[in-house]
Amino acid sequence: MRAVLRSMFGGFEREAWLRFFAAIGGLTLAFACALFSTTARESGNLLATALFASMALLLAAVVGVATVPYLARRVAVRRVRDAFDYDVTREGLAYIGTVLVIGIAALNTGNNLLFIIVATLLAAVVVSGIASAVVLRGLVLDVSFPAHVFAGTKALARFTLQNSRRHIPSLSVSIVPQKQAPAKKWIWQRSYFGIPISRPPEQQWLRIPDLSLVRAETRSVTKPIFERPVYFPYVRAKNSASADVELFFLRRGRHLQKGVGIATRFPFAFLEKTRRVPLNRELIVYPSTSPTEEFFEILPMITGEFESFVRGRGHDLYRIREYMPEDSARYVDWKATARSMSLKVREYTREDERKLRLVFDNPARGLVKSDAYERGVELAASLAWHFAAEDAELTFAAQGYNGSNDVYDFLRYLALAEPADAESLLDRLELTDDYNIILTSRPRGSVPTAFWACSYFLYFG
């Protein structure tokens, strides 16, 4: 028992306890002075009444100035993370209804046994609140999300709940996302002032433009990372428990988790008590890189033109062709020569010049429908992911892109890309030795002719 009490009260500092008991003593003296003041007033002693009343007010003021702000600051700084939310469960409503029925019966009949039963039932509610608060305190949450998450692909996040108490375990605890309450605010809205007011708008003689102040409810558009609770049946004292949670996102974009809650219904499920825990985490979901039918249709054509652009001497066989006078004899394919009865040579791709540049020409707003835009983003992500696994030297270009050659940086750009009112990238794109895969909404005729021989054009939609 002593160890349990030490665990419960070991976190309090001596100064806080001294100030607390000093405040209790001061308020006790102030209450006594107030009682003496009342007694003196009833006995007609005006001087004693004023003296004791002044002492009571002075003691209360000293306690309020010297103790209350200090304790309030400690609560605000060290216990703000222990703020609780309460939700009454169905079981709790049924229990409270039963207590009310028995209480009314006790009042009507005056039966002492019913009063004892009501007191016992109410004590169970108090015990439940204390037990759930003890279970939730001392828990520390750690969340680790995967570094790279793709839309349409499952990923695992790990939730670790550590119980820092020495002797008290935690039972039946859940990690739940915080509820997003609607934010109410007043906004100015365009309206009309019509004459006469009593008639409907279409029957009014005069309608004057006006502004009216209305109350609007807006919800946060931030998409959370997880929305389902994570359950921990038992967390031992001075130990931790982990649970893997499956994450699945249908669309790309930014997901924010501003906070979570540690909730429990222990022990009687009358209330669901939730302790708010701040958790500012951001997760960027990349576009899906899963091959689609469109990807399989264009990949052979892109690969063929790319290999044709970089064909030469290397290690990867490009084709077998007729012997030319300028060819070296060491590249003669004797098996093909014997079969065809004419000299054949092998032609290889030039691996030292397998340079590929993926150009994402982001269209302006309104030029491309949203579905076509999303398909274009996914196609660019699939091509980047495919060629990043090849031997080609891959670079990227897009409006507002930082120029990094890391495929994950480009996927992050695509994850957050939106149509923007910016000039086309093709007007200022420089011609290099790279072979270009250009995803654009501009027709090929409006692109500089220098890119026609070294580019493959794809279009949104």
What are the extents of the domains in the chain? 12-78, 82-180+220-286, 183-218, 293-313+352-459
| 3-state SS class at 168 | coil
Q: E strands of 116-270, at which residues?
A: 139-144, 149-150, 155-163, 170-177, 183-195, 206-218, 230-235, 239-247, 253-264
Average pLDDT, stretch 164-181?
83
Residues 322, 327, 329: CA angle, nearest 5 degrees: 95
Give me the pLDDT at residue 414, please.
92
Decide if pLDDT at 31 tops 80: yes
At 68-107, the pLDDT tens digits run: 666 666 554 444 445 678 888 888 888 888 888 888 888 7
Name residue, tokens 């049924």.
Answer: 94
Q: Give the pairing of strands 239-247 and 155-163.
A: antiparallel
> Largest alpha-carbon pair distance within the chain?
138
Q: At what angle do helices 68-78 and 14-43 cross, to 10 degrees?
A: 140
Alpha carbons 433 and 455: distance in angstroms, whole number: 11
Residues 77, 78, 82: CA angle, nearest 5 degrees: 110
The DSSP 8-state label assigned to residue 44 in this structure reads T
**pLDDT top residue among 33 and 220:** 33
Sequence-separated (6 or more) residues with CB below 8 Å from residue 244: 156, 157, 158, 159
Structure tokens at 171: 């039972």
In the chain, the amino acid numbered 269 is A
Q: What is the mean pLDDT of the chain?
A: 79
Decide if pLDDT at 331 tops 60: yes
What are the C-alpha distances in Å from 335 to residues 20, 192, 328, 332, 339?
A: 98, 89, 17, 9, 6
Q: What DSSP line would sit under 48-108, residue for residue?
A: HHHHHHHHHHHHHHHHHHHTHHHHHHHHHHHSGGG-EEEEE-HHHHHHHHHHHHHHHHHHH
**pLDDT top residue among 147 and 86:** 147
Give me the pLDDT at residue 185, please.
59
Name residue, tokens 């009310």.
Answer: 100
Decide if pLDDT at 313 tops 50: no
Alpha carbons 411 and 380: distance in angstroms, whole number: 9
Alpha carbons 102 and 187: distance in angstroms, whole number: 50
Alpha carbons 3 and 52: distance in angstroms, whole number: 45
Give me the pLDDT at residue 86, please.
81
Alpha carbons 60 and 27: distance in angstroms, whole number: 6
Alpha carbons 376 and 458: distance in angstroms, whole number: 9
Residues 407, 412, 417: CA angle, nearest 5 degrees: 125
Give me the pLDDT at residue 429, please.
82
Q: What DSSP line would sit under 355-397, residue for residue?
A: EEEEEE-PPPTTSS-HHHHHHHHHHHHHHHHHHHTSSSEEEEE
Sign of CA dihedral 329, 330, 334, 336: negative
Give me the pLDDT at residue 5, please.
47
Beta bridge partners of 190: 211
Alpha carbons 135 and 84: distance in angstroms, whole number: 12
**pLDDT top residue among 22 and 74:** 22
319 pLDDT band, cuts 50/70/90, is confident
**CATH 1.10.1740.10, domain 82-180+220-286, yes or no:** no
Exposed, middle or buried by CB within 10 Å (0-12, 13-18, 19+), for 33?
A: buried
Find out whether 264 and 132 touch, Cβ atoms under 8 Å: yes
pTM: 0.64
Give me the pLDDT at residue 72, please.
63
362 pLDDT band, cuts 50/70/90, is confident
218 pLDDT band, cuts 50/70/90, is very low
Cis peptide before 169 (omega within 30 of 0): no
Alpha carbons 152 and 361: distance in angstroms, whole number: 24
Alpha carbons 339 and 297: distance in angstroms, whole number: 34
Beta bridge partners of 439: 360, 458
Give me the pLDDT at residue 220, please.
46
Alpha carbons 420 and 329: distance in angstroms, whole number: 56
Structure tokens at 412: 């992050």
Radius of gyration of the chain (CA): 37
